[in-house]
């Protein structure tokens, strides 16, 4: 004589009511057709959202291939500047040109778009393109100095001269001499530039995360 399994009491995944699952439907998750329809609609919505996300990702990937090298170079420069600015601020450094501390700048300078601080280049990107992606060429500058104002520069010094004098005092003459070069021209491939951007974007996120948990 074949023994059949008794109905099993289960909880519906949709309405959470108790129901008896017949022997042939012991794996049933819902109490009936109404709740089954609701699950089906939810699954279709989920699948549609996944499809849209996938299509957006594929579209971004296709468009990124069409972006010129200069686009990625600009993004990499920005990523490095952002990291160096935040890194120097985290170290408590002041402006490399005028020498003012973070407290002094905060207390005297008026609000400026993008904040009071920049990642300033010791040697300009235009004059020394081979150093455009060199992090040691980027130091903390207040907006006034990076904008070319000599308002806070030491007497008899230009902003650039003050930058060099302070960089030598804080980091040593060897670094300054190395930055002045000469240097070979850099010929980064697009994939290399993307990798540099990704590296410094990750460094910035890591630094912000450390600060948030400090």
- For Cα atoms 154, 142, 88, give the angle at the middle one, nearest 5 degrees: 110
Is a pLDDT exceeding 70 seen at residue 83? yes
103: left (phi over 0), alpha (psi -120 to 50) or beta: alpha
Q: What's the whole-number mean pLDDT along residues 42-70? A: 85
Could you tell me where the beta strands, DSSP code E, fall in the chain?
A: 8-11, 18-21, 117-121, 138-142
Report how far residue 72's alpha carbon sits from residue 78's, in angstroms, rounded to the nearest whole number: 10
For residue 57, say if its preceding peptide bond is cis, omega within 30 degrees of 0: no
The pLDDT tens digits for 136-145 are 999 999 998 9
pLDDT for the residue numbered 4: 63
The pLDDT value recorded for residue 56 is: 86
Map out the domains of the chain as residue ranges.
29-66, 69-212
Residue 207: pLDDT over 70: yes
Percent of the chain with pLDDT over 90: 50
Q: What is the pLDDT of residues 146-184, one digit of tens each?
A: 887 767 666 667 888 999 999 999 999 999 999 998 999
- Asked whether the CA dihedral 47, 51, 52, 53 is positive or negative, the reply is positive
């Amino acid at each position: 004589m074949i023994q059949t399994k008794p109905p099993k009491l289960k909880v519906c995944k949709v309405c959470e009511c108790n129901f008896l699952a017949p022997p042939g439907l012991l794996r049933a998750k819902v109490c009936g057709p109404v709740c089954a329809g609701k699950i089906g609609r939810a699954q279709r919505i989920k699948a549609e959202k996944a499809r849209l996300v996938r299509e957006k990702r594929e579209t971004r990937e296709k468009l990124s291939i069409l972006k010129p090298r200069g686009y990625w170079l600009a993004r990499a420069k920005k990523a490095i500047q952002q990291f160096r600015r935040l890194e120097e601020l985290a170290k408590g450094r002041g402006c490399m040109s005028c020498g003012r501390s973070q407290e002094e700048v905060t207390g005297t300078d008026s609000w400026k778009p993008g904040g009071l601080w920049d990642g300033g280049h010791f040697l300009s990107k235009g004059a020394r393109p081979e150093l455009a992606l060199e992090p040691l060429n980027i130091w903390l500058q207040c907006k006034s100095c990076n904008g070319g104002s000599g308002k806070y520069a030491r007497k008899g010094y230009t902003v650039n001269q003050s930058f060099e004098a302070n960089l030598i005092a804080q980091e040593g003459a060897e670094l300054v001499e190395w930055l002045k070069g000469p240097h070979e021209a850099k010929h980064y491939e697009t994939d290399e530039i993307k990798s540099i951007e990704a590296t410094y974007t990750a460094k910035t996120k890591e630094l912000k995360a450390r600060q948030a948990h400090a």
